[in-house]
Amino acid sequence: MRYSRILGTGSYLPEKTLSNADLEKMVDTNDEWITQRTGIKSRHIRSESDTTVSMGTEAAKKALEVAGIDKNKIGMVILSTSSPDRLYPCAAAEIQANLGLNNTCCPGFDLNAACSGFIYALSVADQFIRSGFLDYVLVIGSESITKMADWTDRATCILLGDGAGAVVLGADTEPGILSTHLHADGSYGGLITHTGDLYDKTVPPSYFKMHGNEVFKIAVTKLGDVIDEALAANNLKKQDINWLVPHQANLRIIQATAKKLEISLEQVILTIAGQGNTASASVPLALDAGIRDGRIKRGDMVFLEAFSAGLAWGAAVVKY
């Protein structure tokens, strides 16, 4: 059997932070509301020099350092982002050049499945490795999502944060990624949108908009379903899962997911309090945090999940 295994992880967070107290001065909100409804206390906000490409590059460098492989062995760069710096060139190609990867033999492309993008990218990378096409793939989630924030809309601006996380995957005969499960339902597309028009310069600036309450309910149901699906696919019991690494959109959604998995919050890697919702960077950021501080150990069974605009959602069962 051929599997893809996680060889190294890395992350990058901008230096500047924005606390709930800071937000109280900007919109009609308060720390108590934000903490109770979301679990967020503070978030990292990019400076002018923090771009989707620069943050992705830094996270990838750290992941490559840990992986300890010759970087020229990387056969592909997949970047999940819903907030590219520009449409051309794609950010993955820019990151490939920044890292000095083997230029002609290392394709790179951006993938957008909103906050679920990293799970989608991990799944694509896993298919390339399992099929024998590639031995090593660099998967990055990088988001400068706060540039989409409407800093006058208290319902959304309090949620977002910037950052990047990365994973180096390598082929192995031992698992590895056991399975990935991807879903989307475009009929709910209007619930999370980027307003305006990217190309029409005559319309007002565009912003991140969300019908949070409706999204919340669908997220809890669909994440519950994908847990059942992923466990059944691997003939696993809930007790076999050591760690939940969730997308960090809302602490109450994470609590509901942990309850469904029948695991305690001590077995959940939580970054939401200090990072907020970093879109598709949130899962690799949390994964890196759990691995670097020694909680997630080799051999542990890890459940990754995300839910997002699209609506799209997905999960991965990974033996670290």
Q: Which residues are identified as catalytic?
A: 115, 247, 277
- Measured between alpha carbons, how far is 166 from 56 in angstroms, rounded to an integer? 7
Nearer to ligand COA, 68 or 186 (CB): 186
- Measured between alpha carbons, how far is 179 from 186 in angstroms, rounded to an integer? 23
Nearer to ligand COA, 89 or 224 (CB): 224
- Measured between alpha carbons, how far is 148 from 200 in angstroms, rounded to an integer? 16
- Measured between alpha carbons, how far is 84 from 246 in angstroms, rounded to an integer? 23
Q: Which helix (H) or strand (E) holds 12?
A: strand 3-12
- DSSP-assigned letter for residue 133: S
Q: How far is the CB of 82 from ligand COA (least distance, A)?
A: 9
Q: How far is the CB of 38 from ligand COA (least distance, A)?
A: 5
Which DSSP string corresponds to 245-296? EE--S-HHHHHHHHHHHT--GGGB---HHHH-B-GGGHHHHHHHHHHHTTSS
Nearer to ligand COA, 296 or 311 (CB): 311
Q: How far is the CB of 8 from ligand COA (least distance, A)?
A: 27
Peptide bond into 84 cis (omega under 30): no
Q: How far is the CB of 108 from ligand COA (least distance, A)?
A: 25
Nearer to ligand COA, 57 or 308 (CB): 308
Q: How far is the CB of 297 from ligand COA (least distance, A)?
A: 29
- Measured between alpha carbons, how far is 297 from 153 in angstroms, rounded to an integer? 41
Query: Hey, which residues does 136 pair with through a beta bridge?
Result: 170
Q: How far is the CB of 151 from ligand COA (least distance, A)?
A: 12
Residue 169 near residue 125, CB atoms below 8 Å: yes
Nearer to ligand COA, 123 or 277 (CB): 277
Nearer to ligand COA, 55 or 192 (CB): 192
Helix, strand, coil in percent for the chain, rounding step 5: 40, 25, 35
Nearer to ligand COA, 77 or 158 (CB): 158
Closest CA to 187 of 50, 313, 305, 312: 312
Residue 178 near residue 9, CB atoms below 8 Å: no
Q: How far is the CB of 154 from ligand COA (least distance, A)?
A: 4
Q: b/e map of 75-101 (b: 16 or more CB within 10 Å)?
A: bbbbbbbbbbbeeeebbbbbbbeebeb
List residues near ligand COA by CB under 6 A.
Answer: 29, 33-34, 37-38, 115, 154-155, 158, 192, 212-213, 215-216, 219, 249-250, 253, 277, 307-308
What are the residues whose beta carbons fall under 8 Å from the beta carbon of 109, sequence distance 6 or more?
A: 77, 78, 79, 90, 92, 93
Task: Please identify the residue of the shown chain whose CB is closest to the bound ligand COA.
Answer: 212
